[in-house]
Amino acid sequence: MTKYTALLSFVFGIILTVFAILSWRSCHQKDEAALINQDYYLITNQIRKMNKMVVLEQDFSSFQTHKSSAANIAGFDILPREMVLYTTAKAQVSYDLKQMKIEVDTVHKKLIIEQLPEPEIKIYPEVRIHFMDDYAINRFSKNDINKIMESAKKNMIKSVNQNSLKDQSKKQLKDNLNDIFVLAKALHYSIEDKTNTFPPNEL
């Protein structure tokens, strides 16, 4: 009877041990799953906060001079007229981050940038007459003035270096996305940029 009791106790002890290990594993897995879900929620929630944003604005200005005359005789302008225009422009670069695609890989703990939107550049020129000198019989007509001002606006738009704006806006875009990157790193996620927008050493 004693041997039987001892054997029963031994088997019962093994069962309890196995049950305890399985319970611990189950709790541990649940905790792990909860942490993974929490990480995923935190990162995706931060991504969702991003809407269309203006990432860069720059102001430009210049003076443009328009000269003409009624005629040119022997190298001399007859009834010359002159207009000096002051042109300004606001250049705005924006990204529609609703078009952004970022995958959160909780298995390999990776934040993968799949797609980033193209920058949208808008330039808003304004022109005003700074100085105008003409003759009573060779006046600038209203139509002349409108044409000259439209030409000045086009010249201002052409003078804005859009490639330089794109390069600068890319740096600003990274700064705006930095909240996502910092959070991912804090949760021990690596960042992979499949768009090759940002140098790997900057992520």
- Average pLDDT of the chain to the nearest whole number: 81
pLDDT tens, position by position, 139-158: 889 999 999 999 999 999 99
- Given this model, what pLDDT does residue 50 score? 75
- Given this model, what pLDDT does residue 82 score? 92
- Clarify whether residues 136 and 108 are in a common domain: yes
Q: Is 33 helix (H, G, I), strand (E, B) or coil?
A: helix
Contacts of residue 158, Cβ cutoff 8 Å, sequence gap at least 6: none
Cα separation, 190 vs 195, in Å, equals 15
- Give the largest Cα separation in the chain, rounded: 137
- Clarify whether residues 84 and 171 are in a common domain: yes
pLDDT tens, position by position, 77-101: 678 899 999 999 999 999 888 888 9
- Given this model, what pLDDT does residue 136 score? 76
- Clarify whether residues 166 and 185 are in a common domain: yes
- Clarify whether residues 1 and 77 are in a common domain: no
**Chain center to CA of 110:** 21
- Residue 147, by phi and psi: left (phi above 0), alpha (psi -120 to 50) or beta? alpha
**Average pLDDT of 23-32?**
47
- Clarify whether residues 121 and 182 are in a common domain: yes
Tally of domains in the chain: 2
In one-letter notation, the amino acid at residue 188 is H
Among residues 61, 60, 78, 65, the alpha carbon closest in space to that of 131 is found at 65
**Average pLDDT of 115-128?**
93
- Given this model, what pLDDT does residue 24 score? 42
Q: Is 67 helix (H, G, I), strand (E, B) or coil?
A: strand
- Clarify whether residues 64 and 37 are in a common domain: no
Per-residue confidence at 75, pLDDT binned at 50, 70, 90? Answer: low
In this predicted structure, the answer to whether residue 74 has a pLDDT above a threshold of 90 is: no
Residues spanned by the domain of 182: 51-202
Per-residue confidence at 68, pLDDT binned at 50, 70, 90? Answer: confident
In this predicted structure, the answer to whether residue 109 has a pLDDT above a threshold of 70 is: yes
Per-residue confidence at 29, pLDDT binned at 50, 70, 90? Answer: very low
Cα separation, 4 vs 120, in Å, equals 83
